[in-house]
Structure 1
Amino acid sequence: MSGEGGRAGAELELAARVIEIVRELAGRSAEAEVNVRHDAEALTRFANSRIHQNVASAVTGVRLRLHADGRTAGGSTTVTSADGLRTLVERTLAAVRVSPVDRSWAGLAPPVPLRLSAGHPGSGERSGLAFGFDEATARADPAERAARVGDFVRAAGGLETAGYCRTVYVSAAFANSAGQAVEGRTAEAAMDGIARCDGADGVARLAAARLADLDGAVLGARAAAKARAARGPVELPPGAYEVVLEPDAVRDVLENLAVFGFDGKAHHQKQSFAELGKEQFDPSVTIVDEPLGSRDEPASDLPFDDEGTPRRTLVLVRDGVTTAVTHDRTSAASAGAESTGHASPVSRSWGPRATHVRLEAAPLPGSGPGTGGTGVIVGSAAPLVAGMRRGLLITDLWYTRVLDPKTLVITGLTRNGVWLVEDGEIVSPVSNVRFTQSYPRALGPGQVLGIGSETVLLPESWGRARYAAPALHLAGWNVTGNASG
């Protein structure tokens, strides 16, 4: 752990020191990238309706990627003393000398200023240090998280509850030997909890740029209402069902589209369903990656990627037409394109990935931001359910696995509440089911019968990604069995 993390400019100073050491030991012909990142995460967990764990960590890490004599190697350390930084450079240089020739090296990002999202007034150059950053969230203490957990538990009305409330603060900088030097910071809060009633579970989760925007009472009441309404489920036979996917389920759809579909490396290798310029989705579908936030939401990530490329809003699908895929510098060079600012520590191996994906909502006349509701049906899913003749209302998807990456056929299970709907009314809870479905085909032309009027910000089940998802009314969803088989 480093005491320097979190002080404005501390990370950029460390990055600059590493570049100086590289020039001293390897000469000016070597190309170097340095990422310095201070991560502070605090987590309050609860189970059996009691807080059982408060944990916090704060670590400053330095990552170096070095390219010399046609070869590339990387190294990292959490020892940020002068000796620790010099040792990092020496180890990385030694690794470069025994590495294979790197024929895919795309060079360093040139010096380019950071910018705001196009959705924000006054967009232009900025340091990235303070825009959209909530100091109160970054400095939140256990009592503030515990208060929200307490609200969640009380609102569940005596049901057994479990989950977490977390806050994350990141302060980071990037520098390379080509002169690019940028810094930024971000904070996030998230809450995820379930309530259980007679063996039935209900869930509520939310992500936000401000801890103050998380209302534990609203989330606890929603989870409890779903759990009570999911008791005594019936089984349904396999078949194609009309469905309304609530935002939690849509989050899984967006995540899989981002990881396996809009990845520029997979696209260039012909392993993705994405076909640029083709109408692959219903005309009502617009999907955007918004790492810098939107007009309504503060920035949700650092304003630059792991190669120092400024992040920007990227429209992946507009009015049903696939318009872009994500690139780091390596995939962009292979495809004859430009980096879209999606480099990560693993993007050269696994491909660049969009991690702040929004499916645009379809606002109704006179509608405004909603609370998400505390009943069985979340927020703007209600009018979609009212328009369903016979089908399923699905809260959540989990344990989803890819069967065919090219067509993105996914198999998985439902959880945390499924209900049979007839003529716009919920008539019975349904046992969890297994589905096997191509996600792009489910959102294809003519298959989207409606989109909710508001999005819900949702945390990723693992990692730091964030998704903005409305409810979706789809014409068909392939149920292939019950959860037991």
Structure 2
Amino acid sequence: MSVELDIAGRVIELVRRLAGAGAEAEVLAGHSAEALTRFANSAIHQNVADATTTVRLRLHLDGRTAAGSTTVTGADGLESLVERTIAASRLSPPDSAWTGLTPPDALRPAAGFDEATAAATPQDRAERVRDFVRAAGGLETAGFCRTSYTSGGFANTAGHAVQGRAAEAAMDGIARLDGADGVARRASGRLADLDGAALGVRAAAKARAGGRPIELPPGRYEVILEPTAVADILGNLATFGFNGKAFAQHQSFAELGAQQFDDAITIVDEPLGATLPFDLEGTPRDALVLVRDGTTSAVSHDRTSAAEAGAASTGHASEGSRSWGPIAANPCLAPGPDAADSDSADSEPGDGPTEASARALVARMRRGLLITDFWYTRVLDQKSLVITGLTRNGVWLVEDGEVTAAVGNMRFTQSYPQALGPGAVLGLGAEAVAMPDRWSGVRYTAPALHLRSWNLTGNASG
């Protein structure tokens, strides 16, 4: 039994003793350890680490629900948590939407856990930063390398008890030359998978190719989006489209069973290995097919949104899911059909501005744009998921299968589902690569994406 599961079990026993047999309670004790090595001006300037064990209790007593948390895991701290939550429940309004507790259920088999990543040292991360900086060949560099480890134990008064752990590593860096930035980023469950030198070469190649950009007029352009840009599409689709709360409240574009995307689009949430194998409510996580061959087949649910939609929880409860809705933990866009025959994405990291996942797509493009990244994306209309944002870290004009010029950054206004709609996808890269979220442990896995049309509404300066 893990330390966290032991803590969760002790809290359940306190609830039974202090609140009585009629109380329903669920407890998640989670330990999170994150370490971050940051660099700027081509040198490490910060190394920080934080480790916290947090115990979260949700209690349903006499028809009322309250929740509380603590980081004090000794006997007095746990007893205080239970007493405070009982007192809060008595002051709470009646909860007619209470969905009950997750019944006992076995966890799904998860990917292997990497001990080396969980135990990574500042030296381990510094070596990858060093390799990135050296490989950039004298260009100014900045970014981070991070490792994280999570372990958790869950128990409830219905007799359900589970435990698990997960590790993650990520690197995100830029190289800069005369105002042009090149980016390279990767995420993995194994720190050993992150090749700082290959990422540094790639970022530098993009920066060198980004000099003397031309300006193009606004309009609809055929585009190839590299995985770094596709990650933003997946993030917004998961947050606002495949969100069970938004779906239940008719604020999502999703229509189950409808052909809303091109036949080439299959999107699967694959949380196992990317996060704990169960959610905040103890529901086991498993792969969830959101879109199969263009047809929307599911949205992500916690127990609250599932009850509202007349569905079952998909294991996506989180601390904020009752407010913001349940969101996929590792949405993956399936690559093109030639993935088994493709070279590694790191096989030619210095091949101009184009990554391997996009190389074959560029060769087939008659005229259009190669876009590296999106940033500052904001929702203009949630129902149709119209997004506005800017390109970043490199845009290039492609003519007759060749990159011919760097292009200045541009603003776009585009419905993401429409851009991926039936007949709109011209191709997918042969290899999907994992990208880290900028703010959390969420991961996005995607190939490059060749789209018929993208609405660019102006240059970044106006």
Q: Specify the TM-score bucket, using the shorter chain as the normaliser.
A: over 0.9
Q: 1:223 aligns with which of 195, 203, 223?
A: 203
Aligned CA-pair RMSD = 1.0
Q: What secondary structure, in the 3-state scheme, does the structure 1 residue paired with 2:18 have? A: helix
For residues 188 and 366 of structure 1, the distance between their equivalents in structure 2, rounded to whole angstroms, comes to: 25
Q: 2:63 corresponds to which residue? A: 70
The yes-or-no answer on 1:325 pairing with 2:299 is yes
Q: Spell out the pairing of 1:332-371 with structure 2 (5 A cutoff).
A: 332-364=306-338, 367-368=341-342, 370-371=344-345
* Contact kept in structure 2, 1:327 and 1:342, CA below 8 Å: yes
Native 8 Å contact 1:342 1:353 kept in 2: yes
Map 1:30-69; keep pairs closer than 5 Å.
30-69=23-62
Counterpart of 2:406, as a letter, is P
Deviation at 1:389, TM superposition (A): 1.2
**1:190–1:205 contact (8 Å) kept in structure 2:** yes
Q: CA deviation at 1:461?
A: 1.3
- How big is the shift at 1:211? 0.5
Equivalent in 1, 9, 12 of residue 16 of structure 1:
9
Measured against aligned partners, the alpha-carbon deviations of 1:197-239 in whole angstroms (never above 9, x if no partner) come to: 0010000000011111100000000000000100110111100
Shift of 1:115: 1.4
Residue identity opposite 1:305 in structure 2: D
Stretch deviating more after TM superposition (71-80 or 367-376): 367-376
Alpha-carbon deviations, 1:168-212, whole Å to 9, x = none?
Answer: 001111111111100001111000000000010000000011111
SS of the counterpart of 2:255?
Answer: coil
Q: 1:328-359 CA distances to partner (integer Å, 9 max, x unpaired)? A: 01111111110011100111111111120000
The alignment status of 1:200 with 2:200, answered yes or no, reads no
- 1:457 corresponds to: 434
Deviations 1:282-318 (CA, angstroms, capped at 9, x unpaired): 00100000011xxxxxx22111011000001100000
Q: Deviations over 1:125-164 (max 9, x none)?
A: xxxxxx5100011001111100000000000000000000
* Code of the aligned partner of 2:249: Q
1:49-93 residue CA offsets vs partner (Å, 9 max, x unmatched): 000011111111101111111111111100000000000011111
Q: Does 1:93 align with 2:73?
A: no
Once the two structures are superposed, the pairs formed by residues 377-456 of structure 1 within 5 Å of their partners are 377-456=354-433
Equivalent-residue separation in structure 2 for 1:240 and 1:264 (angstroms) = 32
Q: Does 1:143 align with 2:136?
A: no
Distance in 2 (alpha carbons) for counterparts of 1:365 and 1:58: 39
Instruction: Pick closer, same or farther for the CA change 1:365–1:325 going to 2, 3 Å.
Output: closer
Structure 1 stretch displaced more, 373-382 or 331-340: 373-382
Aligned partner of 1:3 in structure 2 is none
> 1:285 is paired with a residue of what secondary structure?
coil
Offset of 1:365 from its aligned partner? 7.4
Alpha-carbon distance in 2 for matches of 1:24, 1:355: 36
Counterpart of 1:296?
none
The answer as to whether partners of 1:363 and 1:454 remain within 8 angstroms in 2 is no
Q: State how 1:288-327 maps to structure 2 within 5 Å.
A: 288-292=268-272, 299-327=273-301
Q: Which residue of 1 aligns with 2:112?
A: 132
SS where residue 341 of structure 2 aligns?
coil
Question: Could you report, residue by residue, the CA deviation over 1:70-119 in whole angstroms, capped at 9, with x for unpaired residues?
Answer: 111111100000000000011111111111111211000000111126xx
1:472 matches 2:446: no
Cα distance in 2 for residues equivalent to 1:407 and 1:383 = 31
Match of 1:123 in 2: none
Q: Counterpart of 2:82 in 1: which secondary structure?
A: helix
The residue number in structure 1 matching 2:77 is 84
The residue aligned with 1:213 is: 193
Q: Contact 2:343 / 2:356 at 8 angstroms: preserved in 1? A: no
Q: For residues 225-240 of structure 1, what are the structure 2 equivalents within 5 Å?
A: 225-240=205-220
Q: Which residue of 1 aligns with 2:266?
A: 286
Task: Please tell me the residue identity of whatever aligns with 1:239.
Answer: G
Q: For the residues of structure 2 that align with 1:270 and 1:391, how far apart are their CA atoms?
A: 36
SS of 1:115's equivalent in the other structure is coil
Task: Work out the CA distance in 2 between the residues paired with 1:158 and 1:103.
Answer: 63
Question: Equivalent residue of 1:227, what SS?
Answer: helix
Percent identity among equivalent residues? 69
* 1:352-408 deviation line (CA, Å, top 9, x unaligned): 111200000013276145134413101120111111111100000000000000000
Code of the aligned partner of 2:152 = A
Q: What is the aligned partner in structure 2 of residue 271 from structure 1?
A: 251
- Checking the alignment, whether the CA contact within 8 Å between 1:274 and 1:322 is kept in structure 2 is yes
Q: 2:345–2:431: 8 Å Cα contact kept in structure 1?
A: no
Maintained 8 Å contact 1:394/1:417: yes
Secondary structure of 1:435's counterpart equals: strand
In the TM superposition, residue 484 of structure 1 has moved relative to its aligned partner by 1.4
Distance 1:16 1:94 in 2: 21
Q: Distance in 1 between matches of 2:137 and 2:247?
A: 49
Q: Which runs of 5+ in 1 are unaligned?
A: 1-7, 118-130, 293-298
| TM-score, reference length from structure 1 | 0.93
Change in CA separation of 1:226 and 1:41 when aligned onto 2, cut-off 3 Å: same
Counterpart AA for 1:44: T
CA distance in 2, matches of 1:47, 1:275: 45
Query: How many residue pairs were aligned?
Result: 459
- For residue 46 of structure 1, what is the amino acid of its counterpart? F
Whole-angstrom distance in 2 between the partners of 1:12 and 1:364: 44
- Give the letter aligned to residue 384 of structure 1: L
CA–CA distance in structure 2, aligned partners of residues 132 and 314 of structure 1: 19
**254-263 vs 383-392, which moves further:** 383-392
